[in-house]
Amino acid sequence: MIIDTLKTLFKRDLEKLKTEIELYKNEKNIWLIDKSISNSAGNLCLHIIGNLNAYIGVGLAKTSYIRRRDLEFSLKHIPRTKILSQITDTIQIVENGLDNLTLSQITDDFPIVIWDKPTEMEYTLTHLLTHLNHHLGQINYHRRLLDK
């Protein structure tokens, strides 16, 4: 079933995100930017956390999360342990949100309008997963290029 698949993939990729952050040899390098790399791994992590909490958290898990998107890109030097804890919390929020979803709702509109018009639940959740993966790849590349 698609909901179980989404749960598995979100958890897998958020665990990969934790691994990427743990793999930095020097914690300070998580926050580096260089030349055409304008977003640090830390800020991309905060962005992923904010995105999933704002949409799956609020929309499906019914949390009271208030997104401050500007801070996702402006905060710096948050300890690695805090970021890892936030990722762990996000895994639980995503799981809770997807647990609230029934198969009959998968073709309903997502409860939050993200773009110009309502979008189907399955489309929106697939988009959120691919968005996570896009930034996960950027973080992997960031680590391999700048964590020396």
DSSP 110: P
Cα dist. 102→45, 52, 106, 118, 121 in Å? Answer: 29, 19, 7, 19, 11
Q: Does the pLDDT at position 148 exceed 90?
A: no
Residue 5's Cβ-side half-sphere holds a number of Cα atoms within 13 Å equal to: 8
Q: Does the pLDDT at position 10 exceed 90?
A: yes
Domain locations along the chain: 2-146
CA 35 to chain centre: 25
Q: How confident is the model at residue 37 (pLDDT cuts 50, 70, 90)?
A: very high
**Beta-bridge mates of residue 120:** 109
Q: Supply the pLDDT for residue 15.
A: 98
DSSP 114: -
For the segment 98-112, what is each residue's pLDDT rounded down to a tens digit? 999 999 999 999 999
Amino acid symbol at 112 = I
Burial class (CB in 10 A: 0-12, 13-18, 19+), 132: buried
Residue with tokens 């960031």: 142
Q: How confident is the model at residue 124 (pLDDT cuts 50, 70, 90)?
A: very high
Q: Supply the pLDDT for residue 1.
A: 87
Please state, in angstroms and rounded to a whole number, the distance separating the CA atoms of residues 121 and 112. 10
For the segment 55-90, what is each residue's pLDDT rounded down to a tens digit? 999 999 999 999 999 999 999 999 999 999 999 999
DSSP 34: B
Task: Enter the CATH code of domain 2-146.
Answer: 1.20.120.450
The fraction of the chain above a pLDDT of 90, given in percent, is 97
The answer to whether the CB of 55 falls within 8 A of the CB of 128 is yes
Please state, in angstroms and rounded to a whole number, the distance separating the CA atoms of residues 127 and 112. 14
